Amino acid sequence: MPAAAAPLTATIEFTLPASRLDHDPAIYLTYDADRSRPSEALRVEVVNLRDELEDAKSPATIDTVAKQLHDRGFAVAKHASNHLGGIPSVEGTQAYLDETAALLKSILGCTRVIAWNSVCRKNAPGLAHKDVPRQQEPEKGFVPSERQQPVASIAHVDQDEVWGAELVGKAAKAPASSFARAQIVNLWRPLSGPVTNAPLAMLPYSEILPGEISKHGSMFGVGMDIHHGKGQNWGYIRHQMPDEVVFLKCFDTAQGADGSALYCGHVAVKVDNDADGIAPELVVPRESIEVRLVALWEKE
């Protein structure tokens, strides 16, 4: 019998729960660029989702992705973009946004999907975070590669239920409650590959206990931090390529009424020896694009 493969390990940055703070955590509900919640870097085992991704090549991919989003709050799939190379232009970016919106609509079977915004990130030492104005409507005429942000290195969820509903309302120009259902789902992919540093790791909703999550103010609204828990099993796509995507559920007006996941955790991680087996010239800083999408189901 062949020896079992050694488990993969990664370092993940988690903020500390309230029980380990010596001050009132309520201060973090107000955004302050110069203040951050104390955190710790922990080495944990991570699961390589590549086998799952390869299995998703079948015609059942759309159903598989929809089920993964329902069950755990994130999904992985193969998808070769026809417009990824055009992102450095306004027209190319818009074509990519339209393409991602159409892809999510085909998966969820919703009435329509609105591309709210996009962000390009790079794993480059010294790359400063850039504050941006709070959006009031869907992004137009913006080229995300012209304003690169650093990787998101703290385990988190993008929106809480209040900011999620507000964002839906701004995107749809109607209250979230006026729709039968609304979701916020991000589509993430690398701009080049294989990814050998700062890959994106995901955590199923069902593995986040109530004491392992807390809220924080951001430049956009209120998001959520994830604290470390012993029952957490983080997964990532080892050596992810541009034709391999991750769907991240961030908000759902159903709030679990149908048994579906409310969201998933995600974060850029440091996987030990992640460049093993990759030609040196291919080991470059990770660059990625993420599109935030609002899916709407109209009332009949």
96-149 residue pLDDT tens: 999 999 999 999 999 999 999 999 999 998 999 888 888 899 999 999 998 999
- 3-state secondary structure (DSSP) of residue 267: strand
Q: Identify the residue whose tokens are 């995300």.
A: 144
Span 74-79, average pLDDT: 95
Handedness of CA 18, 20, 23, 27 (dihedral sign): negative
DSSP structure string for 197-213? SS-EEEE-GGG--GGGE
Span 198-219, average pLDDT: 96
User: Using one digit for the tens of pLDDT, what is the confidence trace for 149-170?
Assistant: 999 999 999 999 999 999 999 9
Domains of the chain, by residue range, sit at: 8-297
Separation between Cα atoms, residue 160 and residue 170, nearest integer Å:
15
Q: Which two tokens stand for residue 204?
A: 């199923």
Paired with 40 in beta bridges are 14
Q: Please state, as a whole number, how many other Cβ atoms lie within 10 Å of the Cβ of residue 42.
A: 12
Q: Which two tokens stand for residue 289?
A: 């694009």
Q: Please state, as a whole number, how many other Cβ atoms lie within 10 Å of the Cβ of residue 112.
A: 12
In percent, the amount of the chain with pLDDT more than 90 equals 86
Indicate whether 236 pLDDT > 50: yes
Separation between Cα atoms, residue 167 and residue 90, nearest integer Å:
23
Q: In what order do the strands lie in the sheet with 112-122?
A: 74-78, 244-252, 181-190, 287-297, 112-122, 149-150
DSSP structure string for 184-243? EEEEEEESSS---SS-EEEE-GGG--GGGEEEEE-SSSEEEEE---TT--EEE-TT--TT
> 287, 121 in Cβ contact below 8 A?
yes
Backbone φ and ψ of 282, nearest 5°? -95, -5
Query: Nearest-CA neighbor of 111 among 298, 252, 299?
Result: 298
Q: Which value, to the nearest 10 degrees, does the dihedral of the CA atoms of residues 149, 153, 159, 160 take?
A: -150
Indicate whether 4 pLDDT > 90: no
Indicate whether 254 pLDDT > 90: yes
Q: Which two tokens stand for residue 91?
A: 């027209």
User: Using one digit for the tens of pLDDT, what is the confidence trace for 28-73?
Assistant: 999 998 899 999 999 999 999 998 887 655 555 788 899 999 999 9
Task: State residue 39's pLDDT score.
Answer: 98
CATH of 8-297, one of 3.30.70, 1.10.1760, 2.60.120, 3.40.50: 2.60.120
Average pLDDT across the chain, whole number? 94
Task: State residue 60's pLDDT score.
Answer: 53
